[in-house]
Chains A and B, each alone.
Chain A
Amino acid sequence: AQSVSQHNHHVILSEAASLELGCNYSYGGTVNLFWYVQYPGQHLQLLLKYFSGDPLVKGIKGFEAEFIKSKFSFNLRKPSVQWSDTAEYFCAGDSGGYQKVTFGIGTKLQVIP
């Protein structure tokens, strides 16, 4: 079945540490991939998205993600996290045209000052 999986459910980092959150997808053919962030008590906000082209995608707030087709991965990275990055991060994918959209279970990131 088409799906997206996130392996790290809870990550704790100190400020200024580097971040990498894993996301793997199982879509065949066309795939659109997204990373969303949900700050405590708020709604999901788009960080970045990949449709095609350059596999390195840069998003807001210094986040980036790399699409690696051979590994079916779309990991989220940030070189230096801040306390304000404490949130839950969701990877999502669809097979184009909003078909078969799925969200990962989410990764809770806690940044310690």
Chain B
Amino acid sequence: DAGVIQSPRHEVTEMGQEVTLRCKPISGHNSLFWYRQTMMRGLELLIYFNNNVPIDDSGMPEDRFSAKMPNASFSTLKIQPSEPRDSAVYFCASGGRGPNYGYTFGSGTRLTVV
């Protein structure tokens, strides 16, 4: 099991540019979560999907943020345009059912917007 795979690991971009973060959940997991972690605000849930459908996006900070899950094996989080205050580590997590219920996190994408 390769775990939750995120790319890129690090991203440095200029303010105003579009940023796309990618996530491949664990095969068979039917729930997917995007989190943002900063020193000031800790770990924040941005959005989560169940069976590829967005269930709760109340944590998405602004319209500049959007997330998609076109199929069970891929999700993207897009920021357009990016701002310096978006600098953070973005984690993707997936969750299964039964004994696999819970949140398995990817290694994260460290985003720096200059």
Contact = CB atoms under 8 A, between A and B. Distances in A.
Interface of A: 32, 34, 36, 42-46, 49, 51, 90, 92, 98, 101-103, 105-106
Contacts of A101: 33, 45, 48, 103
B51 to A, nearest CB: 11
A51 B95 CA distance: 14
A58 to B, nearest CB: 15
Contact of B95 (A42, A98, A102): A98
Given A43-B91, A44-B91, A102 B45 contact: yes
A34 B103 contact: yes
B105 A45 contact: yes
22 contacts: A34-B102, A34-B103, A36-B103, A42-B107, A43-B105, A43-B108, A44-B91, A44-B93, A44-B103, A44-B105, A46-B102, A46-B103, A49-B102, A90-B43, A98-B33, A98-B50, A98-B55, A98-B95, A101-B45, A101-B48, A101-B103, A102-B45
Interface of B: 31, 33, 35, 42-43, 45, 48, 50, 55, 91, 93, 95, 101-108
A51 B101 contact: yes
Contacts of B108: 43
Interface hub of B33, B50, B55, B102 (most chain A Cβ within 10 A): B102
